[in-house]
Structure 1
Amino acid sequence: MGWLLIVLVAVPLAGAAVLALPAFRARGIAVTFGTTVSGVALALALAAVAAFAVPYGQGGSSSPSSPNSPGGPSGSDGGGLGGDMRLQTDLPWIPGLDLRFHLGVDGISLPLVVLTTLLTFLCFVHLTRHPPVGGRPRALVVTLLVLEVGMVGTFLALDLLLFFVFFEVVLVPMYFVIALWGGTRRRAAAVKFILYTLLGSAVLLIGLLVVWTQAGTLDMVVLAERHGGGMSRSAQILAFLAIGAGLAVKTPMWPLHTWLPDAHTEAPTVGSVLLAGVLLKMGSYGFARIAIPVLPEGAAAFAPWLGALAVIGVIYGSLACLAQWDLKRMIAYSSVGHMGFVLLGFATLTPVGMNAALFANVAHGLITGLLFFLAGAVKERYGTADLARLGGGMLRRLPHMGSLLTFACVASLGLPGLAGFWGEMLALLGAFQPAAVLPRPLFLAFMAVGGAGAVLTAAYFLRMLSRVTHGVHGVEPGGAVDVTSRELAAWVPLVVLIVLLGLWPKALLAVTTPAVQAVFTSGTVAP
């Protein structure tokens, strides 16, 4: 089944290539074509889930790990749902430099692959009835398909340089999504996005090169098995600093977040959904896949600083949300706070904390994706996203949309029974009992500050709802329909998954826990 992951990357790439051909004149079906291609990619991701669930040795895995790691994926016997690397393909890429086209999935990456393909497909469903404001639908479809290649490839890559290549592929298409189809200040926002992320990528590359020169390999499976072996403590600290800083820009971590509000505010709806739902996860995924398993001593040295910056981000994001009057900008700042909980989970260096981070990643992608879909629909109907001009009354004028917006907000503030609750709660639990190498009193302080941030999250969402959905005043939506069938087709899957993961968190934790335990029980970091 090693071919499955190659096809998963190749399908959107081939779709973009076909659509970009000059001979492809049927621009009117470009969005339909893109929807079909992204639907095939989603089906392949679900096929990967089905193949992944088959125990190793019974057809659930492809070839063993890389030649440097014989004896099965990640040196594992395949026991457990997500504790080994599965569906691997390992082909020569640049033999002279010992670079390989190495792909695979485990319990850490598989949920993000499914999330990526799902959100991309739902964005195309959204476009079927909401053509891009700037025109050029064929160009937008090509751009989104190339973006999907980079996003999926990042979560599948098991070679450090290949990871970096896919990590960079997303920058150019997202730049054009913002610059060509964004709002009135789209060019400035796009330039700010590309400058910040390119600078972060340059620092990330330096860190990856330090690992390569010290360890002598770029194979992420081999590096994780070594647990920092072959690298001195000083080299690990230097590499973690560079890699962590590069990933922090994309996450984004306070104070490297300032590109995010402008990018979200000016991006079109589909750009905001993918930016919040997937691109932010690429940075946090790097901590789980590279920084913590490969550089355990560096992680232990910087964990207190990472935790401090995380809880500052939680408080800062919440306070910034309270000061916003633009709906999209408020949701953007909320991402800074929510990703702070993700980073706090990683900073604890415990299985509970990493599970919290991985769960919060998926939950944030679903919930914030829904929020940006709804924010785009509000702006389309009212002609503004200004909370003062909206003035309230949505539940009376557009009851279904108002109800969905209320649902998304209470999910985002962490209401028990919905997906957003588990990531935040587990992150705080991880801070209550951090790894033995970390100062527990300091992390107890982080837990208290994070808990205060959760209260502030409720405050700004309730403030927003009081100004948008409740009351009897405010502008009329211009005779627009409440919610269309195509919008429901794009939004209902997110609603269902938010409820499902909230009521049955084991559906996700059963996948992530074996992979997380493989990181910690193998000696990478002492829990």
Structure 2
Amino acid sequence: DLFTMFMFYEVALIPMYLLIGVWGSGHKEYSAMKLTLMLMGGSAFLLIGILGIYYGAGATSMNLLEIAQMHNIPIEQQRIWFPLTFLGFGVLGALFPFHTWSPDGHASAPTAVSMLHAGVLMKLGGYGCFRIAIYLMPEAAQELGWIFLILTGISVVYGAFSACVQTDLKYINAYSSVSHCGLVLFAILMMNRTACTGAILQMLSHGLMTALFFALIGMIYGRTHTRDVRELSGLMKIMPFLAVCYVIAGLANLGLPGLSGFIAEMTIFTGSFQHPDTFHRVWTVIACSSIVITAVYILRLIGKILYGTCTNKHHLTLSDATWDERTAVIILIACVAALGMAPWWISGMIGDSVLPIVNAL
């Protein structure tokens, strides 16, 4: 239901503002206000787009299936409503250049809020772009999709490059999220079954990986009271459990085979390169370069904070993870590994689910 979708888009913003603005850290008021204003701007575009779809289709209800099956939106109107709807949801999916709310929001939010923010909230953007913008306006998606393909391609590469120059652990993971969420929108715009299946797999994979990363960052910060990469070193000897888990999360993020990141990204790039158009293939090659950039900042980060000699004597007395922290981390790692080593059961289900939408395209 279009109205329900919009309502929960708005409902998701209210607790985020309070959770970051009241219980956050650092520049929490600025980050909360920036997040709210940018997403409210996106929701304004979305509201116009949804009303345009409803009246343009001459529908009697806001039921998605009814509009898709029984009504036809004129192409002249699709050219107007598609960019507004895709942009409205794309802001929530950290679409360049409207992504800047995400890193600041991540950095200022409490650990649990960062996990929900990246793992759940940002996925609403990709889902809406696919389920509403592309599904209900396929002709405009085919005609105007190249514009957003360029923006999502920039998101993928720019987010990875930005992560390379950050010194705050949360900002590194936040810009990494911009890159990985950009892959979701990038794959959706290829509009074939393999790429769209990869986009959904990436949503699942990124939600698990990023939640794991933010959980570990929160645990490390709770002990060291710093997220500055320049002030951390030699943590592998001090807190071996957390350090090993951080290595696993990093390897999943850079796409190591056997973990969920590899399955999702390989499916996306395979499906994207299946597109017969040279323009789409060139941008696929550009997006593929993000794999190398991701490996650079992940391996540099792991080498800097986990290995070597601990230079802060106060860190030598720190404790490793408690049993409840170990339980949470192990569950997330098990999910990441299960999706990476046995993806066929869920990829088949996703492929069957996206097929009706792809056939409509």
Deviation at 1:346, TM superposition (A): 0.5
Which of residues 11, 19, 23 in structure 2 aligns to 1:169? Answer: 11
Alignment match, 2:294: 457
Task: Give yes or no for contact 1:501–1:507 (8 Å, CA) kept in 2.
Answer: no
Which of residues 235, 254, 257 in structure 2 aligns to 1:394? Answer: 235
Alignment match, 1:474: 311
Residue 445 of structure 1 pairs with residue 282 of structure 2: yes
Q: Partner letter of residue 258 of structure 2?
A: G
> How many Å separate the matches in 2 of 1:334 and 1:209?
34
Deviation at 1:509, TM superposition (A): 0.9
Residue 501 of structure 1 pairs with residue 339 of structure 2: yes
Deviation at 1:162, TM superposition (A): 1.1
Alignment match, 1:409: 250
Alignment match, 2:102: 260
Alignment match, 1:36: none
Residue 224 of structure 1 pairs with residue 68 of structure 2: yes
> How many Å separate the matches in 2 of 1:477 and 1:213?
62
> How many Å separate the matches in 1 of 2:289 and 2:205?
20
Alignment match, 2:193: 351
Residue 288 of structure 1 pairs with residue 288 of structure 2: no
Task: Give yes or no for contact 1:273–1:373 (8 Å, CA) kept in 2.
Answer: yes
> How many Å separate the matches in 2 of 1:314 and 1:375?
23
Deviation at 1:410, TM superposition (A): 0.5
Deviation at 1:422, TM superposition (A): 1.6
Task: Give yes or no for contact 1:431–1:446 (8 Å, CA) kept in 2.
Answer: no
Query: How many pairs does the alignment contain?
Result: 358
Deviation at 1:195, TM superposition (A): 0.3
Deviation track 1:258-291 (CA, whole Å, cap 9, x = no partner) reads 1111111110001100000001000001022111
Which of residues 243, 250, 257 in structure 1 aligns to 2:85? Answer: 243
Q: Partner letter of residue 196 of structure 1?
A: M
Give the CA RMSD over aligned residues: 1.2
> How many Å separate the matches in 1 of 2:265 and 2:67?
30
Deviation at 1:349, TM superposition (A): 0.6
Alignment of 1:205-216 (within 5 A): 205-215=47-57, 216=59
Deviation at 1:448, TM superposition (A): 1.0
Q: Which moved more, 1:472-481 or 1:319-328?
A: 472-481
Alignment match, 1:427: 268
Task: Give yes or no for contact 1:382–1:478 (8 Å, CA) kept in 2.
Answer: no
Deviation at 1:302, TM superposition (A): 2.2
Alignment of 1:6-405 (within 5 A): 159-215=1-57, 216=59, 217-226=61-70, 229-390=71-232, 392-405=233-246
Deviation at 1:418, TM superposition (A): 0.4
Comparing both chains, which one has the higher relative contact order based on Cα–Cα distances under 8 Å and sequence gaps of 6 or more?
Answer: 2
Deviation track 1:322-354 (CA, whole Å, cap 9, x = no partner) reads 110000011000011111211111010101111
Residue 514 of structure 1 pairs with residue 352 of structure 2: yes
Task: Give yes or no for contact 1:178–1:187 (8 Å, CA) kept in 2.
Answer: yes
Larger Rg over CA atoms = 1
Task: Give yes or no for contact 1:342–1:423 (8 Å, CA) kept in 2.
Answer: no
> How many Å separate the matches in 1 of 2:157 and 2:348?
31
TM-score, length basis structure 1: 0.67
Deviation at 1:473, TM superposition (A): 2.8
> How many Å separate the matches in 1 of 2:67 and 2:311?
58
Task: Give yes or no for contact 1:249–1:283 (8 Å, CA) kept in 2.
Answer: yes
Task: Give yes or no for contact 1:247–1:284 (8 Å, CA) kept in 2.
Answer: yes
> How many Å separate the matches in 2 of 1:297 and 1:477?
59
* CA pair 318-192 structure 1, distance change in 2 beyond 3 A: same
Deviation track 1:354-402 (CA, whole Å, cap 9, x = no partner) reads 1011000000000000000001111111110000011x21111111110
> How many Å separate the matches in 2 of 1:405 and 1:231?
49
Partner of 1:183, secondary structure, is coil
Q: Any unmatched runs of 5+ in structure 1?
A: 1-158
Deviation at 1:478, TM superposition (A): 6.2
Deviation at 1:480, TM superposition (A): 3.0
Higher helix share: 2
Partner of 1:477, secondary structure, is helix
Structure 1 stretches (4+) deviating beyond 3 angstroms? Answer: none
> How many Å separate the matches in 2 of 1:505 and 1:306?
29
Q: Partner letter of residue 151 of structure 2?
A: L
> How many Å separate the matches in 2 of 1:378 and 1:185?
20
Percent sequence identity over aligned pairs: 34
Partner of 2:309, secondary structure, is coil
Task: Give yes or no for contact 1:277–1:366 (8 Å, CA) kept in 2.
Answer: yes
Alignment match, 1:3: none
Q: Partner letter of residue 284 of structure 2?
A: M
Task: Give yes or no for contact 1:381–1:478 (8 Å, CA) kept in 2.
Answer: no
> How many Å separate the matches in 2 of 1:351 and 1:278?
23
